[in-house]
Chains A and B, each alone.
Chain A
């Protein structure tokens, strides 16, 4: 028997992100009306492009049941390399493929460690986090790099009247969504995240699919780094620090489960990324103490992860076998229908 209180709680938890959005808008809008101006809202969108791109890559990895903690360092090392190339006289047309290639390469190495060498993803990508950051620091000699105009174009250009970062972010989003929803590999990613053993039994080439998701994550990290660097104009030694956190937070807030098999890029992850940026932007506009930011961020992540864990625990309980299915059937239908959010 589902009590009314349980139903309400389930509803609140399921739509936590939407509620947080509304709460943020009200809280910031009331304290600083400037927050609600269209120019500011566009600004939020612009600022969240980089994070949304990296979070999209992270979503792929999480869907397959893995994790990528090296995303921030990949951003850094690819941006560092890009900066070096541009400062050395390379053209934009040369830089962009290099950046993407570096991202894919880093991702491929992550994949190698988790699939071939069977090291747990969190430790393998944690080690990679340090390795790539070290490499990046070596490339930049720990000094900040100021980037020339040519690279900044990526930040300021307006193809079709839309700011380039937003354009790129939409392109990435659309491609990711299509891959996940309409290609065999995409659906297999969901299958692997749901039940790796069953996936292997069904004949899915799990190793190959997992390699692809890590490479996509690396690619998105590099692309996100490029977009961010183009807006900042410089690569500092702490660039990309803790960005994996923001990416994970955006994905989980958007409904992607840390346990795999559940989540969507659109609207899910995008909403998560924009929400985080909204909160950050709002805090700046109301002149909040900058030191409050990590506190709020981690509180948000905590809520998101807690919701995910609670839902996962509940689903595991519901899916166990019944000795007397006819008795359990009514019970199960009631609880199952109350919870789930439909097609992934």
Chain B
């Protein structure tokens, strides 16, 4: 084993619910180096570092850290072994101050009368030292609640340094930061590097990656497509590696072309902090793609369109009728359907039967009044009709709980549910996430069928290739705005990714 190597991954594998997320991942990180980990959404970056951080465990393979075999039973365990993890979602306690957050699991104490008292002076001194080392000039008794996102992140780093971490993982640290805060972070990272601390830097901003990192690892579909010193790469090369020339998925051809009639029209839609000046039209028979990276605001846009979240400016019209601005159920009534990106928490009743799930949206049309009896015979007919049309594989629609279905079948259940309400606009948010290839294909056919029958489909996806195969046009979002609209003739993976990578204002 190489003495210089701080960290080595050997053939790490991981699967979730039967879907392979990491395959034989191997790479190495030198002491004092910053490693940039890049890849599209779903490439496996977070899973890779979560194994290191003790959040999940690997199925196979070895990790060597500081020359020894490494496993972490929990995040606290990883921390004790010298690995600090700055998550995207910060783990700070907003009701406590900075110093307390830093020392929450290891306060310096003085024993008086057999009771451990917090040694406030020692704590303050050490906290100020740590804050100074990350360049944060705030009093250490400031409540975390009052800090900006950038300041909170620096507190997290200070926390990681408390036990002299040798390796710090930063998972997309700049997404919620202003440009100035990002600069401050980068200066700190260089300084930490000078002190011999290694870092793994996950980011979508290739410019930042090239600035900061000594090495790059490119992940695609859970595989390391290339790794090496940053000099070997160029931004173009990285983009094409990320996007890859994988086996061309066969996307079912469409039988129809979009109509003239406009089903959904959005103009100037804005909500401070979430989306800015969104305008789009969706025609009958059209599949409109929405591309972008995680955190670009696509799901947030979908929620606003469906009426779950409010908006402050702009207009939404379905088939010419204006939609009201507060959270409302008008969306369903006017013929919209929303398949959310997390089917387990928001798309399905996991503990209920398949039949109950499929019936959920269209139930009101099977009875005259809410207290009235449901016409269960005809409901059952409709439900099994939908289930067989979508080819849902289930042993018993009435008795089998949705929880026990495969991911693909679960997604079909959600689609069936919405189909039965006869909508004209479908908003699909990551419909093929976490689903095997065979089921994906079936869902593509269903989407084509929907468009063929005259619905309009808004397809949100992180897989650029999927969008290119399925959509008539692709909108690209970045930081809450639409940065481009790409027509079919201009489809190019790298171009679309570039638009998605975008640029942020100061």
Do A and B touch (CB < 8 Å)?
yes
Q: Which of A203, A261, A323 has the most chain B CB atoms closer than 10 A to its own CB? A: A323
Whether B46 is near chain A, meaning CB under 8 Å from some CB there, is no
Q: What does the 1/0 interface line of B292-312 toward A look like (CB < 8 Å)? A: 000111001000000000000
Contacts of A191 in B (CB 8 A): 93, 95-96, 104
Within 96-141 of B, Cβ neighbours of A (below 8 Å) are at 96-97, 100, 104-107, 109, 115-118, 120, 141
Within 140-188 of B, Cβ neighbours of A (below 8 Å) are at 141, 143, 145-146, 148-149, 176-178
Whether B214 is near chain A, meaning CB under 8 Å from some CB there, is no
Contacts of A325 in B (CB 8 A): 149, 176-178, 273
CA distance A202 to B107 in the complex (A): 13
Whether B388 is near chain A, meaning CB under 8 Å from some CB there, is no
Contacts of B92 in A (CB 8 A): 198
| Contact between chains at A323 and B146 (CB < 8 Å) | no
Contacts of A343 in B (CB 8 A): 97, 141, 143
Q: What does the 1/0 interface line of A284-312 toward B look like (CB < 8 Å)? A: 00000000000000000000000000000
Whether A344 is near chain B, meaning CB under 8 Å from some CB there, is yes
Interface residues on A, range: 35 or more
Whether B42 is near chain A, meaning CB under 8 Å from some CB there, is no
Within 325-344 of A, Cβ neighbours of B (below 8 Å) are at 325-329, 331-332, 336-337, 340, 342-344
| Contact between chains at B273 and A328 (CB < 8 Å) | yes
Whether B272 is near chain A, meaning CB under 8 Å from some CB there, is yes
Whether A324 is near chain B, meaning CB under 8 Å from some CB there, is yes
Contacts of B75 in A (CB 8 A): 201-203
| Contact between chains at A326 and B505 (CB < 8 Å) | yes
Q: Which of B74, B117, B506 has the most chain A CB atoms closer than 10 A to its own CB? A: B117
CA distance A69 to B17 in the complex (A): 41
| Contact between chains at A202 and B76 (CB < 8 Å) | yes
CA distance A326 to B143 in the complex (A): 21
| Contact between chains at A203 and B149 (CB < 8 Å) | no
CB distance from B31 to the nearest CB of A (A): 26
* Given A188-B104, A202-B104, A203-B76, also A183-B93 (CB < 8 A): no
A182, A204, A262: the one contacting B95 at CB < 8 Å is A262
A187, A198, A326, A342: the one contacting B91 at CB < 8 Å is A198
Contacts of A199 in B (CB 8 A): 93, 104
| Contact between chains at B96 and A344 (CB < 8 Å) | yes
CA distance A188 to B103 in the complex (A): 10
B276 closest partner in A (C-beta): A324
B142 closest partner in A (C-beta): A343
CB distance from A208 to the nearest CB of B (A): 13
Q: What does the 1/0 interface line of A142-158 toward B look like (CB < 8 Å)? A: 00000000000000000
CB distance from A60 to the nearest CB of B (A): 15
CB distance from A141 to the nearest CB of B (A): 41
CA distance A202 to B94 in the complex (A): 14
A183, A190, A323: the one contacting B273 at CB < 8 Å is A323
| Contact between chains at A187 and B100 (CB < 8 Å) | yes
Whether A184 is near chain B, meaning CB under 8 Å from some CB there, is yes
Whether B418 is near chain A, meaning CB under 8 Å from some CB there, is no
CA distance A106 to B251 in the complex (A): 65
B275 closest partner in A (C-beta): A323
CA distance A325 to B506 in the complex (A): 11
Whether A236 is near chain B, meaning CB under 8 Å from some CB there, is no
* Given A323-B297, A324-B274, A331-B272, also A203-B176 (CB < 8 A): no
Whether B480 is near chain A, meaning CB under 8 Å from some CB there, is yes
| Contact between chains at B117 and A183 (CB < 8 Å) | yes
CB distance from A109 to the nearest CB of B (A): 25
Within 294-336 of B, Cβ neighbours of A (below 8 Å) are at 295-297, 300
Whether A194 is near chain B, meaning CB under 8 Å from some CB there, is yes
CA distance A319 to B145 in the complex (A): 9
Contacts of B272 in A (CB 8 A): 324, 327-328, 331
B96, B104, B120, B506: the one contacting A182 at CB < 8 Å is B120
B116, B178, B295: the one contacting A184 at CB < 8 Å is B116
| Contact between chains at A322 and B94 (CB < 8 Å) | no
Q: What does the 1/0 interface line of A186-213 toward B look like (CB < 8 Å)? A: 0110110111001101111000000000
| Contact between chains at A201 and B95 (CB < 8 Å) | no
Q: Which of A195, A201, A324, A336 has the most chain B CB atoms closer than 10 A to its own CB? A: A324
* Given A187-B96, A336-B145, A344-B95, also A323-B479 (CB < 8 A): yes
CB distance from B282 to the nearest CB of A (A): 22
Whether A3 is near chain B, meaning CB under 8 Å from some CB there, is no
Contacts of B65 in A (CB 8 A): none
Whether A321 is near chain B, meaning CB under 8 Å from some CB there, is yes
CB distance from A215 to the nearest CB of B (A): 16
CA distance A150 to B143 in the complex (A): 49
B106, B148, B273: the one contacting A324 at CB < 8 Å is B273
Q: What does the 1/0 interface line of B55-84 toward A look like (CB < 8 Å)? A: 000000000000000000011100110000
Contacts of B120 in A (CB 8 A): 182
CA distance A289 to B91 in the complex (A): 52
Contacts of B176 in A (CB 8 A): 321-322, 325
Contacts of B80 in A (CB 8 A): 203
Contacts of A195 in B (CB 8 A): 91, 93
CB distance from A342 to the nearest CB of B (A): 7
A183, A190, A324, A336: the one contacting B115 at CB < 8 Å is A183
CB distance from B164 to the nearest CB of A (A): 16
CB distance from A1 to the nearest CB of B (A): 10
CA distance A262 to B109 in the complex (A): 24
A193, A319, A322, A342: the one contacting B143 at CB < 8 Å is A342
* Given A202-B76, A322-B176, also A187-B118 (CB < 8 A): yes
Which residues in A have some Cβ–Cβ distance to B below 8 Å?
182-184, 187-188, 190-191, 193-195, 198-199, 201-204, 261-262, 319, 321-329, 331-332, 336-337, 340, 342-344
Q: A322-B274, A323-B275, A324-B480 are in contact. List 8 more A-B contacts (CB 8 A).
A: A187-B104, A190-B93, A201-B74, A201-B76, A202-B76, A327-B273, A329-B178, A336-B145
Nearest first, the 7 closest Cβ-Cβ pairs linking A and B are A203-B76, A328-B273, A323-B297, A203-B105, A322-B273, A184-B107, A323-B480
Interchain residue pairs with CB less than 8 A apart (5): A199-B104, A202-B76, A322-B274, A323-B295, A324-B297
